[in-house]
């Protein structure tokens, strides 16, 4: 069994809520948002969102700040009532049910641990207000402290704990009330980078072990992609795409997703031809071909996206399925395990059409050629590595 530096077991033995009898019970605890809209005055924070989060799932909302993801969290937990639409947990309409009556537990961005209570009192607070006798509360708190590898800290004050320890106490406090749904509002944002990566693994492990549905809010794509079963990408109150992590990256549904998640090259142009699942657009780099994901039509303006790591240097003639660009090397950023090549087109106009240059990523696998800025480089990428989407807003970088 692998252990984290904090002594917390990361791999858990044979305990999976997707199996066995628990599954049906868990099934009934799906969270459903049905045409939910939230307005604050004239401002629409969340616009007509419909989705279902399955019981036992690790589900993330990913988006830049102000995209409405925190509002969704606050509506699910009951601190805000939606202006329109229905939120159901386990099929039950949550309208009019206060946050203290919902089967949800929220991990606040600032954790909101009670500073005047000891660690164990914090963890047992939810039980205390439910009238659980003190001895029983204490026992449960000790169990949870074991779970988060903080056994000795029961009588400590919150102010004596480190950031990571506070994090884990907040999780234990939420788990103590045995919620059906855990809501986490960027809980790792206050930690430093290394600790954050460890906590990702711990959170994922706790979720697997407990089988509780996790709804996770973050603006950090790394967190969302590594931990989640599914990710919903949001922008300006609208859900852009709900998919598994790999699909979000490999098969973005909107220009926003394509540019918000990971690095991407963008080529704008007119659709020249459509054949089946494929399309060809006319750009400043000539005709480029890619997958026609959402069914653009001939004559429309469209965007073609190709990931930097899918670009290759081509020698001589490329295959028929290969898109080909003749570019000039601007400069190279050597990052260690890989290098980023910043390229511009020969006539310098084509790249500016989409507002960005072209980035190509080459892995440092021993085959990195010697490159000189100003050098002409023929670059190619396969049509199946490119996605063509109708023109739309890109993510701001």
Partner 1 sequence: MHRRSGSEILLNIYLWVFLFYLFLPLIVMGAATFNSSRFPTVTPWLGTTLKWFGELAADDRMWDGLISSLGVGIAVVVISVPVGLGAALLLTGLKGKSRTFVYGVMVSPLLTPGVIIGISTLVFWDRLGVGPGLHLATLGQCSFIIAYVMLMVLARLQRFDATLEEAGLDLGASHAQVFRRVLLPYLKPSLIAAAVLAFFQSFENYNTTLFTRGLDTTLTVYIASKVRTGLTPAVNALALILISITILGAIGYEILRRREQARDLAAKRRAAETERRETQLA
- Site residues for partner 1 per CB under 8 A: 5-6, 77-79, 98-101, 104-106, 108, 110, 112-116, 125-126, 128-130, 157, 159-165, 173-174, 176-177, 192, 194-195, 198
Q: Rounded to the nearest whole angstrom, what is the least distance from the CB of residue 76 to partner 1 in the complex?
A: 11
* Residue found under tokens 């031809």: 273
Contact 311, 265 (CB under 8 A): yes
Q: Which two tokens stand for residue 69?
A: 């993801």
- Closest among 192, 169, 209 to 9, alpha carbons compared: 209
DSSP H or E stretch at residue 249 = helix 245-250
Q: Rounded to the nearest whole angstrom, what is the least distance from the CB of residue 112 to partner 1 in the complex?
A: 4
CA 334 from chain centre, in angstroms, equals 27
| Collapsed DSSP state (helix, strand, coil) of residue 26 | helix
Q: Rounded to the nearest whole angstrom, what is the least distance from the CB of residue 161 to partner 1 in the complex?
A: 6
* Residue found under tokens 């199996």: 19
Dihedral sign of CA atoms 102, 103, 104, 105 in order: positive
Contact 380, 323 (CB under 8 A): yes
Of 35 and 101, nearer to partner 1 (C-beta) is 101
Contact 354, 268 (CB under 8 A): yes
Of 146 and 192, nearer to partner 1 (C-beta) is 192
DSSP state of 319: P
Of 147 and 242, nearer to partner 1 (C-beta) is 147
Q: Rounded to the nearest whole angstrom, what is the least distance from the CB of residue 130 to partner 1 in the complex?
A: 6
Of 108 and 338, nearer to partner 1 (C-beta) is 108
Of 187 and 255, nearer to partner 1 (C-beta) is 187
Q: In terms of DSSP bridges, do strands 338-345 and 322-334 run parallel, antiparallel, or are they unpaired?
A: antiparallel
Of 121 and 385, nearer to partner 1 (C-beta) is 121
Q: Mark residue 285 as left, alpha or beta (left: phi above 0; alpha: psi -120 to 50; beta: remaining).
A: alpha
| Spatial distance between the Cα atoms of 255 and 253, rounded to a whole number of angstroms | 7
- Closest among 132, 154, 133 to 143, alpha carbons compared: 154
| Spatial distance between the Cα atoms of 237 and 227, rounded to a whole number of angstroms | 23
| Spatial distance between the Cα atoms of 309 and 296, rounded to a whole number of angstroms | 25
| Spatial distance between the Cα atoms of 331 and 339, rounded to a whole number of angstroms | 10
């Amino acid at each position: 069994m692998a252990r984290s530096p904090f002594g917390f077991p990361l791999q858990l033995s044979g305990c999976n809520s997707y199996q066995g009898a628990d599954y049906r019970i868990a099934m009934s605890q799906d969270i459903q948002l049905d045409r939910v809209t939230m307005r604050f005055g004239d401002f629409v924070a969340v616009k007509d969102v419909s989705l279902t989060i399955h019981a036992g799932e690790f589900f993330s909302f990913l988006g830049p700040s102000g995209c409405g993801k925190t509002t969704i969290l606050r509506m699910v937990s009951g601190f805000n009532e939606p202006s329109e639409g229905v939120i159901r947990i386990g099929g039950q309409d949550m309208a009019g049910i206060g946050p203290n009556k919902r089967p949800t537990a929220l991990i606040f961005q600032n954790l909101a641990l009670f500073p005047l209570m000891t660690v164990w009192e914090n963890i047992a607070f939810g039980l205390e207000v439910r009238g659980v006798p003190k001895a029983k509360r204490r026992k449960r708190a000790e169990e949870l402290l074991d779970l988060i590898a903080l056994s000795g800290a029961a009588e400590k004050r919150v102010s004596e704990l480190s950031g990571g320890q506070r994090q884990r106490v907040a999780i234990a406090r939420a788990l103590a009330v045995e919620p059906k749904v855990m809501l986490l509002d960027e809980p790792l944002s206050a930690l430093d980078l290394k600790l954050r990566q460890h906590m990702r693994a711990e959170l994922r492990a706790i979720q697997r072990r407990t089988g509780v549905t996790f709804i996770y809010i973050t603006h950090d794509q790394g967190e969302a992609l590594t931990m989640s079963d599914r990710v919903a990408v949001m922008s300006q109150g609208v859900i852009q795409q709900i998919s598994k992590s790999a699909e979000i990256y490999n098969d973005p549904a909107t220009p926003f997703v394509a540019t918000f998640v990971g690095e991407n090259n963008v080529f704008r142009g007119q659709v020249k031809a459509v054949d089946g699942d494929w399309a060809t657009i006319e750009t400043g780099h000539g005709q480029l071909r890619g997958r026609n994901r959402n069914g653009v039509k001939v004559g429309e303006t469209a965007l073609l996206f190709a990931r930097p790591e899918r670009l290759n240097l081509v020698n001589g003639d490329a295959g028929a399925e290969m898109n080909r660009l003749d570019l000039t090397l601007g400069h190279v950023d050597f990052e260690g395990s890989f290098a980023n090549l910043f390229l511009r087109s020969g006539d310098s106009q084509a790249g500016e059409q989409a507002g960005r240059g072209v980035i190509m990523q080459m892995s440092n696998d021993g085959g990195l050629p010697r490159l000189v800025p100003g050098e002409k480089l023929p670059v190619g990428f396969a049509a199946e590595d490119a996605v063509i989407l109708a023109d739309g807003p890109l993510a701001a970088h």
